[in-house]
Chains A and B, each alone.
Chain A
Amino acid sequence: MMYMMYFLLFGLVLGLAAVASNPSPYFAALGLVVVAGIGCGVLIWHGGSFLSLILFLIYLGGMLVVFAYSAALAAEPYPEGWGSWPVLGLMLGYLLGVVSVGTLFSSSMYDESWMVCDEFGEFYFVRGDMEGVATLYSSGGFMLAMGVWVLLVTLFVVLELTRGMSRGTLRAV
């Protein structure tokens, strides 16, 4: 079943090139959806099912939706996707770069691969992600408080950056 992982990673690189090559945020965010979905699949294959679920829900379902709404308010009326030659050329260029660097640095396709290590203390990786989250709430309490404070500071930073209608940092909204 390494073939399945091969296809997932292939889609990941394709999605990465799509995100990097599109100047319009609509198509770049679409590529990001594909990359995040495939990344969740890779994560499930390595045993982090809980983490993959959280990634899908919060990253795709929360942050990317907010980004899509913000982009819809602020982006251009005539977005350029893969239909126009400069964008397609950039995409093919990125893929060519990845393939050439890959063939330059890999001895063969079947010699080496990165395998997942299973043990860390008393956690086995299959349950590691769930146990990790539980630990954050118990013995990692100080770091949880720090994370909460940093998120609050981030909220203040974003509010300060977007304060004011047209005299603010962002112009239109």
Chain B
Amino acid sequence: MNPYILTILLFAMGLGTTITFASSHWLLAWMGLEINTLAILPLMCQSHHPRAVEATIKYFLTQATAAAMLLFASITNAWITGQWNLEFMSYSLPTTLVTVALALKIGLAPLHAWMPEVLQGLDLTTGLILSTWQKLAPFCLLLQINPSNTSLLLILGLASTLVGGWGGLNQNQLRKILAYSSIAHLGWMILVLQFFPSLTLLTLLMYFVMTFSLFISFKVNNSTTINSLSMSWSKAPIISSMVPFILLSLGGLPPLSGFMPKWLILQELTKQSLAPLATLAALSALLSLYFYLRISYAMTLTMTPNILLNALPWRLPSNQHTLPLAITTSLTICLLPLTPAIITLLTL
């Protein structure tokens, strides 16, 4: 793509998130979300492949619906209460509608159906931007509104963790697996939103770090299916040896960093006398763990029967930017002992 256009689009994406972060008026928040949606559309279909165009159209339609719902809810709130402030929504109808609209924006179950199909049509870098950057602005809004109904957020969260687990089980396309993993993690974030919002922020940032390293690992290996991943160990053996740790961190196993958000969320839910819910959520993490283990099994733990020529390729220096991969992989594996410091830093 023309570098000037690329610069303008990336700048607009930063601008949209910044506007939503800085806003306390619903119209300005909506405007930031719309700028984000608009700016990512050409990035999504830059290959002009019909599959990418289909993913762009699906993304545009769902995000436009969510933005329209958000606008309706904020206008209803303005008509009832006479003011447009984000934090002072006190009636249940607009607040519920805003929550459902933002759930559609980020892809929580049962409003998740667009996510695997959209991610499947994109290349890994654009999929990464979609999974990470585009979640920041809606989460900023979710963190600021007063939840109207306790059970709505809990139902959204639990359904997302279960759907994210069960949906990813029969997939061999990596991008769909990443989409279901995103849905599951978003479920965990929403579960604890009304009790301890700092944990939502913590889970979001940890998810960003973990999924960034996974996306970039797949990109360096240039593989989008489990089959091609199983043959990619010889391209960069270091990456093949680190990816199981990234995957197990995503699954939430101690002593890796991915255990941190799940542990703290389970602790907080138990403190709020929601122990059965905590048990259900922990059990649903097992479902996700199964397909993470399947990927690491195919990639690292077994050698697929194939010709041995791929065992000795030239280990040429990679032209890709691997420094961010190195940083995020280290953070994904080693961040658990810093839990108290991170909690203190992220206290809202």
Binding site for B on A (CB under 8 A): 114, 117, 146, 149-150, 153-154, 156-157, 160-161, 164, 167-169
Per the bound structure, the CA–CA distance linking A154 and B27 in Å amounts to: 18
B48 cross-chain contacts in A, Cβ below 8 A: 164, 167-169
A-B contacts, 20 of them at CB < 8 A, read A114-B79, A117-B82, A150-B31, A150-B35, A150-B38, A154-B38, A156-B9, A156-B42, A157-B9, A157-B38, A160-B1, A160-B9, A160-B42, A161-B56, A164-B48, A167-B48, A168-B48, A169-B45, A169-B48, A169-B53
Residue in B closest to A147 when the chains form the complex, CB atoms: B31
Residue in B closest to A117 when the chains form the complex, CB atoms: B82
Nearest Cβ on chain B to A44's Cβ, whole angstroms: 19
For B217-257 the 0/1 string (1 means CB < 8 A from A) is 00000000000000000000000000000000000000000
A149 cross-chain contacts in B, Cβ below 8 A: 15
Nearest Cβ on chain A to B32's Cβ, whole angstroms: 10
Q: Does B274 contact A (CB under 8 A)?
A: no
Interface SS of chain B: helix
B31 cross-chain contacts in A, Cβ below 8 A: 146, 150
Nearest Cβ on chain A to B157's Cβ, whole angstroms: 29
Per the bound structure, the CA–CA distance linking A146 and B28 in Å amounts to: 11
- Nearest first, the 5 A-B pairs at minimum CB distance are A160-B42, A153-B12, A169-B53, A169-B45, A157-B38
Per the bound structure, the CA–CA distance linking A154 and B53 in Å amounts to: 18
Task: Choose one: B1, B8, B19, B53; the contact of A153 (CB below 8 Å).
Answer: B8
Q: Does B286 contact A (CB under 8 A)?
A: no
Per the bound structure, the CA–CA distance linking A114 and B75 in Å amounts to: 13
B8 cross-chain contacts in A, Cβ below 8 A: 153, 156
Q: Does B301 contact A (CB under 8 A)?
A: no
Residue in B closest to A116 when the chains form the complex, CB atoms: B79
Per the bound structure, the CA–CA distance linking A160 and B39 in Å amounts to: 11
